[in-house]
Amino acid sequence: MDFIQNNLGLVALVIVSGLMIFWPMVNRRISGIKEVGILEATQLINHHDALVLDVREDQEYAGGRIPQSKHIPLRQLSDRLHELEKFKNKPIIAICRSGARSGQGCSVLRKNGFEQVYNLNGGITSWQQANMPVERK
């Protein structure tokens, strides 16, 4: 108990750090965003005609992308939702480099009435590590 009283700043730092690590996972569960792995994503693409929405920046997208993916950078997503209107009742798998920005993209989609929204766990990085197909310009 003496340690805690003498090191309140350190204890607070540990608590805040722990919350920062787990908050994105908790927030996704609360918001209804589903995380999918490579296997589930390919099943959604192949069997349910899912749209792959790449929210990375232009330079990242040009460096390699999932075939037939739609590219809308995250910063433009709210203004370009009309381009996705025909996919409102279809599964949409959002991707970025690692899964963080695509989680934000999923939130934007959910707030605008898209119900079948998925975030690719690990993003394009995990896709490439699984030796899945990637197109390059």
The residue that leads in pLDDT, 18 or 46, is: 46
In DSSP notation, 21-70 reads HHHHHHHHHHHTPEEE-HHHHHHHHHHH-PEEEE-S-HHHHHT-B-TT-E
- Reported pTM: 0.79
Which tens digit of pLDDT belongs to each residue from 66-83?
999 999 999 999 999 999
Phi and psi angles of residue 59, each rounded to the nearest 5 degrees, phi first: -65, -40
Catalytic residues: 96
CA distances from 65 to 18, 32, 50, 81, 112 (A): 33, 26, 16, 20, 25
Using CA atoms, how far apart are residues 101 and 137, in angstroms rounded to an integer? 23
Q: In this predicted model, what pLDDT tens digit does every residue of 90-128 receive, in sequence order?
A: 999 999 999 889 999 999 999 999 989 999 999 999 999
